[in-house]
Amino acid sequence: MSEVALKGERDGLAITIGPEGDFDEVCSAIAAHLERGGQFFRGASVLIDLGPRHLTADQLDVLRTLLSDHGVTLTALRGDDPATRAAALKIGLELPFLPTPTTLVAEDYVPANSELALIIRRTLRSGQAVHHQAAVVVLGDVNPGAQVIAGGDVIVFGALRGVVHAGASGDDQRVVCALELAPTQLRIGGYIARAPDEKRRRSRLPFRRKHLQPEVARVQNNTIVVEPWMH
């Protein structure tokens, strides 16, 4: 039996989904809650809290449609599973900023002061995620399926092919730099850009494939632009 609870939070309505029960049971439980509420929930924006549960992008889309059918808008996701968080970003959901770094190992530099840069001395592989409230520097690659979320700038001395969010606390003045800039999704503050083959995109990054060079992404005139880095 799935564990589903609806509760009010400071920023609106939250639906908490426990680890038990299959996906169909979860959908049925959410629908039952909304139907019992009648018109009460119509027009509300909701955050879904999944905890450790894993959901795919398609399953998140099903939940979004289910909520929309009841007049509720799914806007954000909170969860511990990196693949689910990446799927949420892929379909345009917000992720509440998490200040605690994860998946760190001994050779990484974790500053005692959380306002200093976090240095990752290795390649981040698929399924790994790093969260830090200041800048993040990666001395290696960020592979597809990996995720870097930083309150400050993100600098990658390698290939950036995963999901990256600089200025995650809402700072549009931050930048993303990489020796090879080819992310599946790139966010700066409240702005988002996806790879050119993404069907649903708000803007397109002008990735250069023929002549790879270090590049920097920043927000200019309300859009993300990419320029050469280190002239």
Reported as a single tens digit per residue, the pLDDT across 7-17 is: 765 556 788 89
Assigned domain for 12 exists: yes
Return the CATH number at 76.
3.30.750.50
**Claim to verify: residue 125 and residue 217 sit in the same structural domain:** yes
Domain hosting residue 219, numbered range: 118-228
pLDDT digits (tens, 9 = 90+) for 43-97: 778 889 888 889 999 999 999 999 999 888 888 888 877 788 888 888 888 776 5
The number of folded domains in the chain is 2
Nearest-angstrom CA–CA distance, 14 and 200:
26
Contact status, residue 105 vs residue 140, Cβ threshold 8 Å: no
Assigned domain for 173 exists: yes
Query: Of 130, 128, 143, 133, whose CA–CA distance to 183 is shortest?
Result: 143
Return the CATH number at 152.
2.160.20.70
Q: Enter the tokens of residue 100.
A: 């605690």
pTM of the model: 0.54
**Claim to verify: residue 53 and residue 16 sit in the same structural domain:** yes
**Claim to verify: residue 76 and residue 124 sit in the same structural domain:** no
Assigned domain for 99 exists: no
Nearest-angstrom CA–CA distance, 114 and 135:
10
Nearest-angstrom CA–CA distance, 116 and 114:
5
